[in-house]
Chain A
Amino acid sequence: MNVLKVSGLTKNFGGLCAVSNVNMELNERELIGLIGPNGAGKTTLFNLLTGVYEPSSGKIELNVDGKMKSIGGLKPYVVTAMGLARTFQNIRLFKSQSVLDNVKIAMHKNIKYGTAAAILRLPKFYAEEERVQHEAEELLKVVHLYDKKDELAKNLPYGEQRRLEIARALATSPKILFLDEPAAGMNPQETAELTELIHKIKEDFNLTVILIEHDMSLVMTICERIYVLDYGKLIAHGNPEEIKNNPRVIEAYLGEEI
């Protein structure tokens, strides 16, 4: 069953066509890779899907309780509430907040007390805060950051900041998780750990994962299907073996043979 369906998606910035006529289908519990040379429009495509940009034309449909709903042009927080979470290419944590608070903030939409209950400190407030505390701690255990829950996010080493971003995205209880270059700047050992983590959360949380990545060892090991983007157009699509041997992909990455 499709969880996300993209048809004819186009985004123009003035005269520049950053994403042009992209068609994609994501199925339930799939792990999809999105690759392409720098400037191919991968992040723009992510930004379109998560509501940061409004599409110039085309359709984005998300499966909400069995019905396909158009989400093109909706605000990012609405899209997130529908079950679509993301991480950022350049880490965007809430830097001066503790690790635990970073996760708690992302649980916002699931908190069932209002501003009035918070100010009056009604019993509901305490019950909900306790639940949120517990759930946030459980999530931190998944990404192995529980020991550092009281540290400020900015004081974490780079690899742990990336893992915290993943935990924070999971805290919004998504159905589809978008990871924008999760292994950027990591050494091979950290990348291997991350590969394992992505695989684990996909299974444990019943997620569809789509990731942008330049590290081919990661992409080729875990992705079931790969989309290749070049100059805003999808140039290839298939399983890792097919992509490795696709002449157009090789051309896009290495240039034309003379």
Chain B
Amino acid sequence: MKKMFNKYNLCWILSMIGSYVLLSVLMSAGIIDSVYQTVVTTIIINIILATSLNLIIGITGQFSLGHAGFMCIGAYSAGVMVKQMPSMTGFMLGILIGVIISAIVAMIVAIPTLRLKGDYLAIATLGFGEIIRIVVLNMKITNGAAGLVLPKMLNFPFMYGVLMLCLIVIINFVRSAPGRACISVREDEIASEAMGINTTKYKVYAFIIGAVIASIAGAMYAGNFYVIKPEMFTFNKSIDILVMVVFGGMGSMTGSVIAAIVIGLLNSFLQNFSSVRMIVYGIALVCIMIFRPSGLLGTKEFTFSGIGNFIKKRKEVKK
């Protein structure tokens, strides 16, 4: 118990609670109005998506372009369940069903495709993502291309709670023996296997955890934005998520969080200049890639222990 509440973990807990209090005070004071609340919600969903994709691409080194497919599964499971049972219980059941379906689909996708490497894997997962979308497009229960119209199910505290839960699951996984095994697969698969690590198993693990969390993000999307359509979950959506991961730095979870926030704010700021929006967005991305080719944080993490060490060193230098 003592170790769980060391000073660095306490710093994290405090900053979690702090940002929650700050956001909800700003909301109730009306400084974050309903327009900006949508921005906040989008950012929360994007953080979940980016960190879960980072687990697959940045940590385990498996280049997946099918993330929107898993988001689609989550969104539609929640959506269909809410249609049958328009209550919070229905929504929660929907999340659960989405999690189960996406875990099974991820396993089916992972076992044959994770033998592939690099661009081959990217193409294979891209194909699977599109298959999921086409299946949804042609099913009766999902109402085809017209999509589903849903009531708004979620409020800010619930969303924030889910975000924190997802982040804790991902970060605890990365900072443990299974997480180290995933990193070793990224670093050198041959050496990793020679050190007694079942590389296939950990690739599949990471892929499933990433997919399940993406489906939760999809459900959050369905519970917030009233309408879901298959066209929202195309290949473009996967690329959007990938951009956030690369922007923040592959392998850096805090990088993904920061990238999702920055890109979310940039997007909403540029909404006012809609004619030049995509141009400025594109230039911003190109600049990042020129000046920080490995993303905002590279593979480093923002940590309180890092800051602590930095301050200690500064003090020693002064002495």
Contact = CB atoms under 8 A, between A and B. Distances in A.
B81 interface: no
Nearest to A104: B180
Given A105-B195, A118-B173, A121-B172, A97 B190 contact: no
Interface string A99-113: 001001110110101
A80 B195 contact: yes
A27 B284 CA distance: 64
**Which 4 interchain pairs have the tightest Cβ spacing?**
A118-B176, A80-B196, A94-B187, A92-B191
A86 B193 CA distance: 11
B199 A108 contact: no
A81 B183 contact: no
B194 interface: yes
Contacts of A258: none
Given A50-B194, A115-B205, A105 B4 contact: no
Contacts of A88: 190-191, 194
Interface string B184-211: 1001101111111111000001000000
A211 to B, nearest CB: 16
Nearest to B172: A119
Which of A85, A88, A108, A111 has the most chain B CB within a 10 Å cutoff?
Answer: A108
Size class of A's contact patch?
35 or more
A126 interface: yes
Given A76-B194, A92-B190, A105 B180 contact: yes
B169 A119 contact: yes
Interface in B261-304: 299
Given A94-B183, A94-B184, A101-B180, A109 B194 contact: no
Contacts of B188: 92-95
Given A94-B184, A105-B183, A115-B176, 7 more contacts: A85-B194, A92-B194, A94-B188, A105-B181, A106-B195, A115-B178, A119-B169
Interface string A24-58: 00000000000000000000000000101000000
Interface of B: 1, 3-4, 169, 172-173, 176-181, 183-184, 187-188, 190-199, 205, 299
A96 interface: yes
A111 B194 contact: no
A206 B309 CA distance: 40
B184 A105 contact: yes
A172 interface: yes
Contacts, number: 98
Contacts of B179: 118
Contacts of B192: 94, 105
A106 B177 CA distance: 10
A163 interface: no
26 contacts: A50-B194, A52-B190, A75-B193, A77-B194, A77-B195, A77-B196, A77-B197, A80-B193, A80-B196, A88-B190, A88-B191, A92-B194, A95-B188, A97-B187, A104-B177, A105-B180, A106-B196, A108-B177, A109-B197, A113-B177, A115-B205, A119-B173, A121-B4, A121-B172, A123-B1, A172-B196
Nearest to A82: B196
A125 interface: yes
A172 B177 contact: no
Nearest to B174: A118
B60 to A, nearest CB: 13
A76 B194 CA distance: 5
Contacts of A11: none
A131 to B, nearest CB: 11
A155 B230 CA distance: 48
A168 interface: yes
Given A108-B180, A109-B196, A126 B172 contact: no
A168 B183 contact: no
Nearest to A76: B193
A123 B153 CA distance: 37
Nearest to B251: A96
Contacts of B205: 115
Given A97-B183, A97-B187, A105-B184, A172 B195 contact: yes
Contact of B199 (A77, A101, A125, A126): A77
Contacts of A113: 176-177
Contacts of B191: 88, 92-94
A19 B4 CA distance: 54
Nearest to B171: A119
Nearest to A115: B178
Nearest to B201: A77
Contacts of B196: 77, 80-81, 106, 108-109, 172
B197 A126 contact: no
Interface string A163-184: 0000011011000000000000
Contacts of A80: 193-196
A95 B4 CA distance: 30
